[in-house]
Amino acid sequence: MFAVVKSEQAYAALKRANILFSLARSEQLTGRAVEAIGHYRMYLSDPSAKDAKFRSMAQEHINALYKEVGRLELTASDGTKVWVDGEVLSEAALREAYVVKPGAHVVSGQSGEKRFEKKLAVTAGEVTKVAITFESAPAPAPT
């Protein structure tokens, strides 16, 4: 855990891709799969991470870690605010499967006054699809 803390501090100060890779690897080795995947993804999106060997290793580690976590594939209409377990997600977070620990989770959404909530169980190694939709008000009965 000490290595994780030191790597987080080093990356905060220096913003170097190789530190992200080391941080992700430390998290992976200490059982923090969700965090490791996030940092490997950050590493792969960093324009300075050009070493093909390390890019390949990062993707291999992500693929291996996907067996330990669940993923939520969330779809929502533009302008919908989305939360997972109370944490608001950015537009960027909705572009790829959102990584969570296996177990119970709550997905919420809001568009204007309309609200959505779904409780679900996520299984390790699987992708759970959730479409955030809002039921429209029923049409008035004819008179």
Task: Give me the mean pLDDT over the 106-134 stretch.
Answer: 95
DSSP-assigned states of every residue in 7-52:
HHHHHHHH--HHHHHHHHHHHHHTT-HHHHHHHHHHHHH-TT---H
| Structure confidence by residue, pLDDT tens digits, 25-76 | 999 999 999 999 999 999 999 999 999 999 999 999 999 999 999 999 999 9
Q: Does residue 3 have a pLDDT over 60?
A: no
| Structure confidence by residue, pLDDT tens digits, 94-107 | 888 999 999 999 99
User: Distances from the Cα of 103 to the Cαs of 63, 84, 96, 128, in angstroms?
Assistant: 20, 13, 20, 12
Q: Does residue 4 have a pLDDT over 80?
A: no
Query: Which comes out higher in pLDDT, residue 93 or 59?
Result: 59
Q: Using a pLDDT cut of 70, give the percent of the chain over it.
A: 84
Least confident of 3-7, 99-103, 106-110: 3-7
- Rounded to two decimals, the pTM is 0.82
